[in-house]
Structures are given as C-alpha cells and as structure tokens.
Chains A and B, each alone.
Chain A
Amino acid sequence: MNHTASTTTDHAIEAPGAGRTATPFLRALQWSVRLELWQHRWIVIGPLVAASILVATSVLEAIGAPGNIAALLARAPDARRVAIAHPYGLSAGMIAMAAFFMGIFYCIEALQSERSDRSILFWKSLPVSDATIVLSKAWIPLVVLPLIVYAVTLVAQTIMAVTSTFALIATGGDPAALWRELSLERPIVHLYGIAVMAILHSPLYAWILMVSAWARRRALVWVFLPPYLIGAAEQLAFGHSNVKKLIGHLIMEPFARGFALDPYAHAKMPAFDRVAQIDPASVFGRPGTWIGLAATTLFLLIAIRFRRDRELT
C-alpha cells in the first residue's frame, strides 16, 4: 500500500531561496582545491622543507669552504658552466623529486580517506559533483604542487646565488664572473621542466587516484602490488620484464625530459638552463605522451564513476 503525506493548505508552497542559481563549476573547483590545501598543509610545507635543507647545505658549504666558487670559476669554460650550473640543476631536480613522492602519497589517500572517516557523507550532502571533487584532487599533483615547487625552487636558487656571491666577495673573487655563468633563463627552463614533468607523470597520479577511489582499504597495497606481481611473473616466465621497464620509464622519463636528469644516460647531470635547449617536440612529438594523456583521462573518468557508485557499508 502506498503512503501519501498530503499537502497542507495552511501555508503557500514556495521554493525557498528561489532565484539563487547553482554554484558555477570553476567556483566549486576553486573552493575544493582550497579545501585540499587546508587538509594537506604538508603539500606546501614539504617542498619548503626540502628547499630549506638544500639552501642550508649550500650556505654551510659557502661558509665552510668559501674558496670553492672561485676554484670552479677557474676551470675551462665548458667545465666551468657545468660545474656552476650543477647545484642549481640538482636543487631543482631534488625538490621536484620530493614533490613527486608527495604527490604519490597524497593521491593514495585522497579518495579513500573520505570514505574511511565517513566524511564523504557530509561532502556528498553538498551541491558539489563527483567530477569536481576528483578533479580538485587531481589538480593538487598536476598543478598546485608543480607551482609550489616552482616558487620554492626559485627562492632557494636565488638564496644560493646570493650566498655564492658573498662567498666570492669574501675570498676576493669577481662576482660578475659568477653571474656571467648563471643563466637568467633558468626560471623559464625550470617552468618548462615542471610542466613537462606534471604532464608525463599524470598517468601515474590518475592511476593512483583511481585505485584510491576503488579500494575499500589499503590503497597503498593495491597501487603497487598488481604492477609488481605482473612484473615479477613476466620476469619469471621470460627472464625479463617489459612491465618493470615501463614503470621505471614512467617514473624517470619526466625527470629526463623536464630537467635533463637522466640517471641511465648521464653519470653527471648536464647543464640544462638555456631556453634554446628546450625541445617540446621531444615530448609532444612522441605517441607515448598522448597515450599517457589518454590514459590519464580514462583513469580520472573511472575514478569519478567509482566515487559516485561506491557505497558505504
């Protein structure tokens, strides 16, 4: 039998708040990204800590061995450029690598933690779509973290350059000689580097977000175990593993393309600090990049679907 709770006639039925339209997508996205930053303050603090360690090391080295800069400047022109650029490239690469691991661990818990503490019941009581939430979480490793890394690296490298200048002055060297070797194009090259890194790492982040949206618990295990088992099985069966190679490539290729930091090809990091060295065709001319972006889109769509359909039990 049906139950019908019929309309009262005591008061006219009007839609409260009529005329107020829904929140635009971009506004909801902006607030949701802000929410992520409130919850995960270490996203800002982490790169700052990594940069602080590098800057402190650089300052201590300048104080402990102030003559090192002058010694580097005394080398032959080609070797001098590589030697002067090395700590700057290294600092950029190290901070970017720290941010990469932070992005991985952020994604692992991004969509699972809201289910484990049941706060998803509150978030879903608000007029924010599952797509907005998933995209706001993807926005963190793909946009926010790279921009934080960029700003922090810029400040760290400026401090390092100023410290080296003072060390040079203190030992009677010529600061102009140092600044001739320091490329002022480095910030542009670095911006390109972090953009490339975010684009090429995006399939990894999207895969992890998808697993985080799907796994009832222990997302960390589900992220790493299946690829590891497939790689191990392939190794046992054929004596080599393309899966392992692919994963290693997915992780390290962005550092090579974005920062000329290639642990397989170079024993020492080359200087990568001139705009002329930028070669977008080496990134966007490869089918692998586009396949990766297609995979990113697919994984994010599946993550949205999982967030919509996963029920709390």
Chain B
Amino acid sequence: MPCIEVSGLRKTYGSTVALDGIDLVVEEGRILGLVGPNAAGKSTALHALVGLIDCEGSIRVLGKDPRLERHRLMNDVSFIADVAVLPRWIRVGQLLDYVGGVHPRFDRARAEGFMARGQIRASDQVRKLSKGTVTQLHLAVIMAIDSRLLVLDEPTLGLDPLARKKFYDALIQDYFDHTRTIVVSTNQIDEIQDVLTDFAFLDRGRIVLSGSMDAFESRYTQLRVQPGQLDAARALRPIHERDVFGQSILTFDGADRDRLERLGDARTPTLGDLFVAVMERRSGAHEVVR
C-alpha cells in the first residue's frame, strides 16, 4: 500500500486556484522534495495531506482519509508548518510534558538531546527565544516523534546555514535508522538534493515536473560550452540557455552525454539549475522524468 495516494486534488480560494488537479503517489520509504516558487501551492498541498484543509479529489495517507481521521492519522504522521506556530506563551518544559502526554510515539529524551545542541532549556518561554531557536525547538519536538511519515513544510526557514546542515544530517541519519517516508517542501533546493530520493516541481497549483533522483541524474546534462561550439550545442536542442560571465551554459534533456562532452564541460545539473530551467520555459505541461 502506498504511503500517500492523491488523485485530482484541487483547491480554490474564491477565484484563486491554489491546487489544480494534483496526482501523486509516494511509496513508503521515499523522501520526496516538493519544490516550487512562492504561492505555487506547496503549503496547501501539505496541509491537505495532514487534513488541515478540505479539497476536491481524493487523498489517502497511510490508508486513511486525513480530513475525516486527522487525529488518528497524526499518531503516525509528524508535521511541521512553514511558519512559527509554537504557542508563544508556553514554556519549553510544558511543551514537552504536553506532547509526551498526548503522543504515544514521542521520545522526550530524544527531544532533549536535540534541544541540548541548540542550548534550549526547559524553563525557557517560547516568546523569549529567537526565531531560529523556536524553529530548532519545533524540529526537536517533531524529530523526537517516531512517526511513519514526516511532512515538513519549509522546515529550516529562519535557521542559519550551520543549523540547516545539522538538521538535514539528523534527518538523513534518522531516515536510515527508522526507515520512514518524508515529504519536504523547500526553496533551498540544493541543500536537500543529496537527501532526496524523488522530487516534484510545483507551479501555480500543478506538478510540472517530477521523478526519481536516479532518473534525474541520468536524463539531464548541463553543458558549459567551449568557445566556438555554441551553434553545435544549440543544434542539440537544449531546454534552457543562460550566460554566466560571458560563457553560455545550456541544459539538455535526454541528450547523448558523450556527444555533449565534445562540445564543452558536461555535468549533471543541480536540482536548482533544473528548477530554474523548467520554470523559465514552463509550458504548463506536467512531465515525468523516467
């Protein structure tokens, strides 16, 4: 049974279409990165997965309808929203007491271990913590829940680069220790590229490109063109072209890499490069990388 099955997911706010017919299947044990520009529908999609909003279409998460069985589903799902949502009045100790009291899969010692790295004390009140520390606290609580599915909406927003790296290291370590499914949305694509097994690009409420990281690496090539080879490279029909300090950089989809290497420096693009290429030539069609 897939961990997530979404079909024809559509959500509108008045005349604004937030999700426009999303189909998605995520098998257990995968790490899916949801990438998109602002207002692409990432948060809306993740909110739908955890039953926070009502949408057209069908959603099954771990075999349950999140809208009707949210609180039962949350026994097996951890979710972190894209904004600081921890109540400002609460003390850290009270937060841990409460989550420990209501969540059967919360490991307080583990949360305190994460907190110790960020020098967060139980007596601290959330309102007196910095924005980054609040994010670290929230991540510590979420990571201490032994869930089957982690849904992370911009989890590292507000963290410094060092804290972000530590978080992703902990996430991947945790993934291999417990084997769970993770869906993460972010704009800091290159930071999570090595963590992902799959990716999906969202734009204006639709998935415009998706696939596994293995397929992505074998299919796309980025070429830094040697002087005098630009016309030959263009003849191979790149999907994107840009200039960096006077040098042309072309991105190809499914081109013969041996042939490209004769025209310049060929390598696999980053997911960020591909995202820029796709967004700039966006036709509106959803492609699947195979």
Asked if B212 and A6 sit within 8 Å, CB to CB, the answer is yes
Q: How far is the CA of A30 from the CA of B103 in the complex (A)?
A: 13
The 0/1 profile, CB within 8 Å of B marked 1, for residues 105-139 of chain A is: 00000000010011111101111111010000000
In the complex the two chains form, is B52's CB within 8 Å of A5's CB? no
Number of A residues near B (Cβ < 8 Å) is 48
Residue B194 lies at the interface, judged by CB distance under 8 Å to chain A: no
| Complex Cα gap A313–B24 (Å) | 24
Let me know if B23 and A22 touch, CB within 8 A. Answer: no
Nearest CB of A to B132, in Å: 17
Q: Is B99 in contact with A126, judged by CB distance below 8 angstroms?
A: yes
Task: Collect the chain A residues with CB atoms within 8 Å of residue B138's CB.
Answer: 122
Provide the bound-state CA to CA distance between A117 and B198, in Å: 34
Contact assessment for B178 and A16 in the assembled complex, using a CB-CB cutoff below 8 Å:
yes
Return B228 CB to nearest CB of chain A, in Å.
39
Determine which of A22, A120, A309 lies in contact with B72 in the assembled complex, contact meaning CB atoms within 8 Å. Answer: A22
A residues 8-48 in Cβ contact with B at 8 Å: 8, 11-17, 20-23, 27-28, 30-32, 34-35, 38-39
CB contact under 8 A between A5 and B74, given known A11-B29, A14-B179, A121-B85: no
Contacts of A21 in B (CB 8 A): 104
Question: Cβ of B84: which chain A residues have Cβ within 8 Å of it?
Answer: 118
Least CB distance from A55 to B in Å reads 30
Complex interface: chain B residues within 8 A of A32 (CB): 102
Partner of A122, one of B30, B71, B86, B91: B86
Which residues 7-53 of B have a CB within 8 angstroms of A?
A: 13, 23-30, 32, 50-53
Partner of A7, one of B23, B27, B53, B86: B27
- CB of B88 within 8 A of CB of A2, answer no
Chain B interface residue number, banded? 35 or more
Cβ of A4 under 8 Å from chain B: yes
Residue of A nearest to B196 (CB): A5
Determine if B256 is an interface residue (Cβ-Cβ < 8 Å). Answer: no
Flag if A3 contacts B105 (CB, 8 Å): no
On whether the beta carbons of B98 and A7 are closer than 8 Å, the reply is no
Tell me the complex Cα distance, A287–B43, Å: 50
Instruction: Please name the residue on chain A nearest to B289 by beta carbon.
Output: A3
Q: Is the CB of B103 within 8 A of A23?
A: yes
Which of B75-83, B115-123, B164-172 lies on the face that meets chain A? B75-83
Q: Using known A-B contacts A1-B286, A3-B210, determine if residue A311 contacts B29 with beta carbons closer than 8 Å.
A: no
Chain A nearest CB, measured from B281 CB (Å):
18
**Is B102 in contact with A27, judged by CB distance below 8 angstroms?**
yes
- Residues on B with C-beta less than 8 A from A31 are 97-98, 101-102
CB of A33 to closest CB in B, whole Å:
11
Whether B288 and A127, one on each chain, are in contact in the complex, defined by CB atoms closer than 8 angstroms, is no
Q: How far is the CA of A31 from the CA of B212 in the complex (A)?
A: 43
| Contact, CB under 8 Å: A1 / B23 | yes
B11: nearest chain-A partner, CB-CB? A311
**CA gap between A310 and B263 in the complex, in Å:** 57
Interface residues of chain B, those whose CB is within 8 Å of chain A, are 13, 23-30, 32, 50-54, 70-76, 78-81, 83-91, 94, 97-99, 101-105, 138, 142, 146-148, 176, 178-180, 197-198, 200, 207, 210-212, 286-288
- Given A4-B25, A5-B27, 8 more contacts at CB 8 Å? A3-B288, A5-B26, A13-B29, A16-B146, A17-B146, A17-B147, A20-B146, A31-B102
